[in-house]
A = this chain, B = another copy of it.
C-alpha cells in the first residue's frame, strides 16, 4: 500500500484534506507570529491551537479511540502527520508531536488500565504534556543506551531513583515523566532497566534548567532533569521491572517513523517555497526555474521527497501488519532525516540572503531539522545497526541456500 493507495481510501483522504485546510488557515498564521518570538511555543499557544483542532475533530490522530484519539492506522498516520508537519506548529496543534505522541503509543501498549486512565487519558485530551527521560549527560546513556547510569533501588515500599537526565524534551511544564533507570535483580526479575512514571510534583524530580538549543520548536524545550532520592510507589513501574530496554524499542520504532512523517511535511513546505521562489525570482535574464543549477536543486529535492515518502509508506505498511520493521524504520529514519536536511538547505540556497533571513521561515526550519540527524539515534548508530542486520540477513540467506 502506498500513499497513492491511501489517497484511494476516501476516509483518510478526506481527513488529510481537512488537516491541510486547518494547517493553512489556523496554524500557519500562528506559526508566523510565533516565529517572531524567538521562544519555544508556550502552553498557552498550544492550548489555543489544540482547542481549535479539537473543535475541528482533528485532535490526537495517533491517540487510541478509547481515550478520545482518532486511532489512525500507521499508514493513515503517514498521510495525516505529514500534512500536520507542513507547519512547525502543526503536530503540536493536533497533539501528535514528540514526545507526547510516542508516550501515547508506549502507554497504550504497556500501561495498566489504571495507568492509562491516570496518565494516558489526559494526555490524549491535550490537558497535560509529558516527557520521556532516557538520555543522560556524558558519560551516560546517549547514542549507546547501554551506558545508562541513572539507578533505581527498592527501598522497602518504594523505588528510589537517582540520576541526571539530559536533553529531555518537553520536561519543563510536563505533568509527568517516563524515567528510565537501571534496576538490580528484583523478585525474580533479572537486572536491567526499568521505566517509571514520575509525577512532576514529586519532590525528588526537578527540572534543573532548559538547555539552549539550535531548535526551539518544542514546548518545554530540552531540559536537564535531576532525580534525587526520588521515591515512587510500585505502581509507578511501567510494564514489568527489568524490561525497560525492550519497551524502549516498542516506543522507538514507531516514534522514529512519526518523526519522519512530521519532518517530511516540513520539507515539503520548504520545497513549495523553493518552487514558488523559482517561479517568481529572476536572475541573469531568466526565471530561476529555467536556470539549470536551480533546476538541479529543485529536482534533487523532488527526488529526496519522493524517496522519503516511499520509504515511510513501506515501513508504515509493515508496522500496520504487525511486523517489527526495525530495519525498515531505521533505514527510513536515516534517509529521511538526511534528506529533510538537504531539502531545507536547498530551499534556503535558492532564496539567497532571503533564505538565511528571518523574513522567511526557512532559516527557522533549517535550525529545526538539523537535530533530527541526532535525535532518536544518530545516523551513525543507525548505520551500524543497518549494516549488522544486513550481514546477518545475508548469512542466513546463504545458510538457507
Contacts and interface: CB of A to CB of B under 8 A. Distances in A.
A371 interface: yes
Contact of A349 (B298, B352, B374): B374
B331 A306 contact: yes
A222 interface: yes
Contacts of A247: none
Interface string A293-337: 111111110110011011101100110010000011001001100
A379 to B, nearest CB: 7
Contacts of A386: 295, 298-299, 302-303
Contacts of A166: 353
Q: Tell me how many chains of this kind the complex includes.
A: 4
Interface in A341-386: 348-349, 352-359, 363, 366-367, 370-371, 373-375, 378-380, 382-384, 386
Q: Which of A38, A296, A380, A384 has the most CB of B within 10 A?
A: A380
A256 B394 CA distance: 29
Contact of A374 (B38, B280, B356, B374): B356
Interface in A217-242: 222
B356 A328 contact: no
Contacts of A213: 356-358, 363
Interface of A: 1-5, 36, 38, 135, 138-139, 142-144, 147, 166-167, 211-215, 222, 271-272, 275-276, 278-284, 289, 291-300, 302-303, 306-307, 309-311, 313-314, 317-318, 321, 327-328, 331, 334-335, 348-349, 352-359, 363, 366-367, 370-371, 373-375, 378-380, 382-384, 386-388, 390-391, 394-395, 398
